[in-house]
Amino acid sequence: MATTLVNTEFNFPGQKSVYHGKVRDVYNINDDLMVMIATDRISAFDVILPKGIPFKGQMLNQIAAKFLDATSDIVPNWKLATPDPMVTVGLKCEGFKVEMIIRGYLTGSAWREYKNGCRELCGVALPDGMRENERFPEPIITPTTKADAGHDENISKEEIIAQGIVSKEDYETMERYTRALFQRGSEMAAEKGLILVDTKYEFGKRDGKVILIDEIHTPDSSRYFYADGYEARFNAGEPQKQLSKEFVRQWLIDHDFMGKEGQVMPEMTDEYCESVSARYQELYEHITGEDFCKPADEDLAARIEANVTACLAQLKR
């Protein structure tokens, strides 16, 4: 199996701290810049799986960079440079403790709740009689709290504002940006024969301005269906052909694992990890319209350290 990067322990010039997330490691440079490294770790049900996925970090980072650039005319974002295939360097912002999830279709966790009788999600009323993978009349926003550890929790707009998690003005700005981003992402997906089904965005604040942070429109943060055959499959009650991380969640569910206490993580063979990598590559090539170029098997940490150090020196000038 190709080399994977699952842990990082860098000491970059000006580094003040590091945050190891589920998938990304974020380095604070002089309380001004962030170095975000997309590792090859993979998580599901808020649990980091025991093995990395070859080339996953590079694919996610490059997809996110493409979409950050393609949406910078409608939403200001944090990205300054991508000095390495697995790294983005950008502005340090004060992140909001909320993830803005927007759904165009009833699927995934929303469908699981709906099937169990739920008719309100994050304060949004859901109509009776909907079917799995059915399109909502209008996309709905279903935010969650952003937990430092453990599970994120569903929360309504009203609760976010009432609890002072985000001000009314800032929340409404995020809401407006979320809808605009989803519209642009949907249009770009449609050009490639895909449907952007649902996704999440994270925002922060810098110098009094709301800014888009983190990744966008990657298979870790989004779900895509193939447009071709969607209607036929929906009418027949068949599963949609999709490109997202949902297939990993479904594999875990099929092996009786959903991140709950007492459940045992199934074995991830090298063959399984390679198959997941192939699925990520499929999405990468569909959504970008470009072939994915696998780099030579090399010392990823050494390459990243050299590239980031050079970038930080350049940004200081």
Q: Does an H or E element contain 196, and which?
A: strand 194-206
Q: Give the CA distances from residue 79 to residues 34, 179, 231, in Å, rounded to whole numbers and listed in that order.
A: 9, 20, 37
Q: How many CB atoms lie within 10 A of CB 218?
A: 26
Classified by CATH at the fold level, domain 94-244 comes out as: D-amino Acid Aminotransferase; Chain A, domain 1 (3.30.470)
Return d(Cα 312, Cα 16) in angstroms, integer. 14
Assign domain 15-93+268-316 to its CATH architecture.
2-Layer Sandwich (3.30)
**Nearest in space to 216 (alpha carbons), one of 255, 194, 246, 184:** 184
Return d(Cα 287, Cα 218) in angstroms, integer. 9
Q: In the Cβ-directed half-sphere of 185, how many Cα atoms lie within 13 Å?
A: 32
Residue-level pLDDT at 46: 85
Predicted TM-score (pTM) of this structure:
0.90
Three-class SS of residue 6?
coil
Residue-level pLDDT at 150: 58
The residues spanned by each domain of the chain are 15-93+268-316, 94-244
Return d(Cα 40, Cα 133) in angstroms, integer. 29
Interior angle at CA 274, CA 268 and CA 279, nearest 5: 110
Return d(Cα 278, Cα 259) in angstroms, integer. 24
**Nearest in space to 247 (alpha carbons), one of 21, 1, 23, 44:** 44
Q: Is the dihedral of CA 222, 240, 141, 156 positive or negative?
A: negative
Structure token digits, residue 315: 């940004």
Tens of pLDDT, residues 237-272:
999 988 878 789 899 999 999 999 999 999 999 999
Return d(Cα 201, Cα 273) in angstroms, integer. 27
Residue-by-residue DSSP string for 202-241: EEEEETTEEEEES--SSTTTEEEEESTTHHHHHHHTPPPP
Q: Does an H or E element contain 108, and which?
A: helix 108-115
Which residues of the chain, if any, have pLDDT below 50? none
17-48 per-residue burial string, b: 16 or more CB within 10 A, e: under 16: ebeeeebbbbbbbeeebbbbbbbbbbebbebb
Query: What residues have CB less than 8 Å from 136, skipping those under 6 apart?
Result: 103, 104, 105, 106
